[in-house]
Amino acid sequence: MENLSSVGYNKAMPKQSESMPDIDLAILCRQIRQETGLTQKEIAVLVGVSEDSYANWENGRHKPTGQAVYKLLQIQHKHREDQRKKLSKN
């Protein structure tokens, strides 16, 4: 599995805002993983955490940091861009 910088995720994280919208991070984590077709282990490697930590996020036992959420959203964005490119070639 590739690390984030090798697949185009080397942008600096923006400054943290004072408040984040009230979203269910467990659902967000699961949706991104399912949308991308990655395993928990694969997405954990991309985010830079252990598989157990990632599983705890999906199960709602712990919440990811803001930086981890940002990385997850980058992964989702990259996946969607790749899908758009594939569709435009057809």
Whether 6 maps to a domain, the answer reads: no
Residue 84 lies in a domain: yes
Tokens linked to 31 = 């949706």
pLDDT tens profile 44-83 = 999 999 999 999 999 999 999 999 999 999 999 999 999 9
Higher pLDDT, 1 or 9: 9
Domain count, the chain: 1
**Percentage with pLDDT > 90 across the chain:** 70
Burial of 30 per CB tally in 10 Å (0-12, 13-18, 19+): middle
Q: Which domain holds residue 82?
A: 24-89
Domain contains 10: no
Distance of alpha carbon 27 from alpha carbon 77, whole angstroms:
17
Mean pLDDT (the chain, rounded): 85
**Domain-embedded: residue 54:** yes
Cα angle value 45/37/15 (rounded, 5°):
50
